[in-house]
Structure 1
Amino acid sequence: MAHAPPADNSRFEPFSITKHAYKIVNDQEIDLHVLIPKNVTSGKHPVIVHLHGGFFMAGDAMFPDWAAQWALDYQLEQSAIRISANYRLLPESNGLEMMSDISDLWKWVENELPSYLKEIGSDVTPDLDKVIAYGESAGGYLAIQSGLMRPDLVKAVIGAYPVTYVDSDWYAKASTDKAPFGTPQLPRNILDDYIASMKPGSIFTSAFPPARVPMGIVALQNGLFPQLMGTDDSLYPDRILAKKSGDEKVPYLYVLHGKGDTAVPCEQSVKFVKEWQAKFGEESAIAEFQEGEHGFDGEAKLEDEWMQRGLAGVTKAWMG
């Protein structure tokens, strides 16, 4: 148990932050960070579990440039405890291994978080009847997967420009038309050479961008994500959704996406939310599509009308 390294961004200033290994794989720790508002009162508080993005290959739970201010402000507004977790990344690991980490993370939240808070001397306790999942991009995929996997625990999901149709042509077929953030076609050997150099048993759980981001772009441009993730149906939210009867309990879903997104197509979020609503009812989800690129919500404010509209159902589902 150790304190997280100080972030180089003042947006984390309102929080007390500790770091903890929730899992060990091949003698390597997989960390989560617990963010508690400094001005919080003692007693029970709701929980946000946050999962970062990064093409499934990069990113870190505490990378400040990707810590959306509106989400931190929402946490403060609701006096919530935030768990920001790392997980095994491609290509060292596959999708099932990644989802194994997410499953174990939820078990840790459910079974270990209360005692952990006591261990660090905090007088706050988690209200496990009030838990939501939140993530952006690849983390949005993991948040949606979390909600589908643990509807007994997760009351609502916030997916910011989430990856949804991993088996679509966008992720599964090579094309020279894919230029996320205006990136030109990158040579495939960036990824191939890296994979060839990997040591058996090694895992990667954290990489502050721009490290490893080019590998993710190569995987996208060459349609390699299904191959790297694996083919098991449990890794594909659209396939999971298709198998549902519509009578199951599911979390409330809020998706926000920039219409000009060049990394994760906005039209896939449009389709996914419609399919969710068709299955579970019009009131089971809301989507907000705004002008902007991937990561457009970096400029968003909690008080923005569209954000308030999107979060209203989340707050209702979260707080019961």
Structure 2
Amino acid sequence: MRYGLDIGGTKIEIAVFDRDFKVLDVTRISTPSENYQRFMQSVCRLVRQKDKQYSCIGSVGIGLPGVQETRSSKQISSNIPCLTGQHVARDLATELNRAVYIDNDSRCLALCEALTGAGQGMPRVFAAVLGTGAGGGLVLDGKVYRGASGVAGEWGHMPIAAHLVNQYGLFVKQCNCGLYGCLEHYISGTGLSNLCEHFLRIRLPTEEFLKLLAEKDPKALHVYQVFIDILCSGFASLQLTYDVDIIVLGGGLSNIKRLYADLDQRLPDFLFKGIQAVPIVPARFGDSSGVRGAALLGDNSF
């Protein structure tokens, strides 16, 4: 069996996959985010329960928010404070007596979609996750690209284009990462609420904003135009940097159906003339892409 674990600030989900990567079982528990020992015990208990249930020793792959520093192998995670500075993969491997592979949750989604999803068969696949925050992952020839320090793909912390700040009179504030003007503050679910607060003077949940948009509210249409322009500027930077074959979107905002046609229409305006815009498509496996990618990671150590 292959076990994929998707671990966030509020829940731990373990999915069991068979040899053909068919889902057999999914279990969720709350994440003990403040106590490292309790976190370790919770993860190990889940894995051992599945071992017993399926009479096997399953492979373990884990998707986590944050990054694993390449040189020290220590975890850095603002969503799960107790993991920061810990050797999570090493400690779990010792406790479970097997190899444990951990990577950023966005990279797990990227791996899933590159090997089995919307980017299958393409040599250069970038996955952009537009959820509470904005993350990403790059897969080259079927292998996750992590970079020298393990931060490759963190496109949500690229800075917003100065001309868009000037054009739309946008705010620039410090991110939790310590930098200023990170794209995450404009293009994530939280970012969309930030834009609503800036232009509409009220923070709106995504569902409420989309209702206004469907009603063709002029102010909502303006917010959406700003959102699309910032998103296209970020995607154009990705294309000019990595020149990928496809960008696959995950996270809650990837479910906005009109997004893809609007990006396709607007993205060329942010690229060199004559350069064809990269296709931008939704993740084939949707919300389950991350846990599926984690199982793939554990099975083959990509």
TM-score norm. by structure 1 comes to 0.30
Higher helix share: 2
Query: Larger Cα Rg: Structure 1 or Structure 2?
Result: 2
